[in-house]
Amino acid sequence: MRFFRLTMTTGLVIACMLCGVPALAQAPAPADLAAGRKLFVEALADEEHGRFADALAKYKRVLVIRDTPNVRYRIGSSLERMGKIVQALESFGAAVRVGTASGSAADAEVVRAAQERIDTLSAKVVHVTLRLPTPPPSGAEVRVDGEAVPPTKLVDLPLDPGSHAVSATAPGAAPFRTSVDLTEGARVEIPIVLPATADPIPPPPPPATSSPTAPHPYRTAGIVTAAAGGALLVGGVIVLALRSGTIGDLESACPNGACPASRRDELQSAHDRAQAAGPLGVALVATGVAAVATGFVLVLLGGSEKSARLVPVPIANGGLLTFGREL
């Protein structure tokens, strides 16, 4: 009956809904007005045949062209048929405000009808209190059906009757989730529990990675000393080998110690060289052995943090002092 009574006035409403221009408002273009009238008629047909979602979408497009109490009323009617009571009340309330402000006699019927729907639907709304712990956790966020609830609405959140999902989160707290079934006109309090979680165990520190370090000075000196000692050792062996060859030549040239007079000067010079090469070769070999030993000790010291000290090292016909690792 209500829909029939309002439809009877549709012709008058369509004729004037897009004609009045509020003060200081820019009038829509004629083409937009014509499109708005066409959409409004189509939306009425959708609503009458139960296609409420289609009707709602078209009414909202008309609202962009011109905001009138009748368009607001029809949006509220579609929302009510879809079970969205809270949103329908908002649209009916807007219809009352817009129609009352216009002061038009044509809007008075719409205002009265919208107020009737407000009085009827207000009793169906469910009022929910979402009770956070005291004191509320810092950064707590509450959601109903996936939509964030402003803190001002937590003490009285109007909801449609039916099933709803409530969730809450807070830093350092376990998340809260629950589902509720709400009946028309009920007043419900939902306590929200956000238990603190245990402090997370910090991850173990990453394994220390050794960075390349410069060679220890002892190690470097040891390598150089050992290399030099090796060269001296090889040189000493060569000198002693040449001396041995020279002595062999002299023994061949002077059997039984009798040297030919014609080669006296040559053989004497060879004898002098062999005589001088002996001590030189021995010295080179001894020095080389000592240097190699010293270098080896320095290399060992380069891999240890223990201090070094002078230690005696025996060699042929004597000894020398070198660095040794402190035990």
Q: Does residue 209 lie in a domain region?
A: no
What pLDDT is stored for residue 301 in this prediction? Answer: 67
Q: Does residue 291 lie in a domain region?
A: yes
Q: Does residue 251 lie in a domain region?
A: yes
Q: Are residues 137 and 175 in the same domain?
A: yes
What pLDDT is stored for residue 11 in this prediction? Answer: 43
Q: Does residue 23 lie in a domain region?
A: yes
Q: Are residues 9 and 54 in the same domain?
A: yes
Q: Are residues 102 and 144 in the same domain?
A: no
Q: In total, how many domains does the chain have?
A: 3
Q: Are residues 105 and 34 in the same domain?
A: yes
Q: Are residues 130 and 115 in the same domain?
A: no
Domain containing 87: what range?
A: 2-122
Question: Please, which residues have CB within 8 angstroms of residue 33's CB and are 6 or more apart in sequence?
Answer: 18, 19, 65, 66
Q: Are residues 111 and 135 in the same domain?
A: no
Task: Determine the Cα–Cα distance for residues 314 and 34; give it in Å rounded to an integer.
Answer: 119
- What single-letter DSSP state applies at residue 173? B
* Residue 6, CA distances (Å) to 114, 120, 175, 207 in order: 11, 17, 49, 79
Closest CA to 40 of 27, 25, 57, 53: 57
Amino acid at 97: R
Question: Please, which residues have CB within 8 angstroms of residue 236's CB and are 6 or more apart in sequence?
Answer: 280, 281, 282, 283, 284, 285, 286, 287, 288
Q: Does residue 149 lie in a domain region?
A: yes
Question: Where are any strands of DSSP class E within 220-327?
Answer: 308-315, 318-325
Q: Are residues 182 and 225 in the same domain?
A: no
Q: Does residue 200 lie in a domain region?
A: no
Q: Are residues 12 and 112 in the same domain?
A: yes
Among 175, 191, 207, give the residue marking a domain's end. 191
Q: Are residues 18 and 58 in the same domain?
A: yes
CA 165 to chain CA centroid, Å, is 30
Q: Does residue 299 lie in a domain region?
A: yes
Among 71, 87, 122, give the residue marking a domain's end. 122
Q: Are residues 32 and 53 in the same domain?
A: yes
Q: Does residue 206 lie in a domain region?
A: no
What pLDDT is stored for residue 13 in this prediction? Answer: 47
Task: Determine the Cα–Cα distance for residues 253 and 247; give it in Å rounded to an integer.
Answer: 10
Q: What is the CATH number of the domain that holds 187?
A: 2.60.40
| pLDDT tens-digit profile, the chain (327 residues) | 444 344 434 444 444 444 443 433 467 788 888 999 999 999 999 999 999 999 999 999 999 999 999 999 999 999 999 999 999 999 999 999 999 998 888 899 999 999 999 999 999 999 999 999 988 888 999 999 999 999 999 999 999 999 999 999 999 999 999 999 999 999 999 999 998 886 656 677 777 665 555 566 767 777 877 788 788 778 778 877 887 877 777 677 777 767 777 777 776 777 777 777 778 778 877 887 887 788 777 777 665 544 455 556 565 555 555 555 544
Q: What is the CATH number of the domain that holds 108?
A: 1.25.40.10
Among 122, 154, 178, give the residue marking a domain's end. 122
